[in-house]
Amino acid sequence: SEQKEVHCLMADQTSDDEVFDFSNIEFTREDLVSALNDMVKEYRKLSHTFEEVKAGKADLKNSSVEPSTVELGEADSLQIEFNKLMAKNELLRNESSELKAENERLNEVMSSLMIWSKSTGSFLTHSRKSKLERLI
């Protein structure tokens, strides 16, 4: 029967180059322990990198879902400014309504004065005519 070869490949290798042939009986116990220790170090390094990436992904998710304290503060100050502008807008609307009402009242007064002026002018003209006619 054919003997199966067992290969250990480095994780960052792109080719199928053999690193260890564990079926080779020339390896000593120290060689195997050293290879195992190297694999454990590589595993820890990769695990740490994985955890960093995982934490970074979670941070990105949290930052997009929950606004930061600075953003909340800016939103609060914008809301306060918006409320001030709304109050000022309401005051200006009220003032505008009052000015329109005053303008209408003054227009009525002017209209009455114009009517009075015309009637007074007509009366004076008629009165002068009468005096002139009496004199003549």
pLDDT of 44: 96
The DSSP line for 109-128 is HHHHHHHHHHHHHHHHHHHH
pLDDT of 116: 84
- The one-letter code for the residue type at 116 is W
- Kindly give, in sequence order, each residue whose CB lies less than 8 Å from that of residue 34, ignoring residues fewer than 6 positions away: none
pLDDT of 29: 84
Q: What distance in Å separates the CA atoms of residue 47 and residue 95, rounded to the nearest whole number? A: 69
Output the pTM of the full model: 0.36
- If asked whether residues 50 and 60 sit together in one domain, one would say yes
- If asked whether residues 108 and 77 sit together in one domain, one would say yes
- If asked whether residues 74 and 42 sit together in one domain, one would say no
Q: What distance in Å separates the CA atoms of residue 18 and residue 8, rounded to the nearest whole number? A: 7
Domain of residue 77, residue span: 67-135
- If asked whether residues 72 and 38 sit together in one domain, one would say no
Residue 21 lies inside a defined structural domain of this protein: no
Residue 44 lies inside a defined structural domain of this protein: yes
pLDDT of 6: 43
What is the SS3 assignment for 18?
coil
- If asked whether residues 98 and 131 sit together in one domain, one would say yes
- If asked whether residues 47 and 32 sit together in one domain, one would say yes
Q: What distance in Å separates the CA atoms of residue 64 and residue 59, rounded to the nearest whole number? A: 9
Per-residue pLDDT tens for 101-124?
A: 999 999 898 988 888 888 887 777
Give the helix/strand (H/E) hosting 7: strand 7-8
Whether 3 and 30 have beta carbons less than 8 Å apart is answered as no
Per-residue pLDDT tens for 30-62?
A: 888 888 999 999 999 999 999 999 999 888 887
Q: How many domains does the chain have?
A: 2
- If asked whether residues 96 and 121 sit together in one domain, one would say yes
- If asked whether residues 60 and 77 sit together in one domain, one would say no
Per-residue pLDDT tens for 63-116?
A: 765 566 666 678 888 899 999 999 999 999 999 999 999 999 998 989 888 888
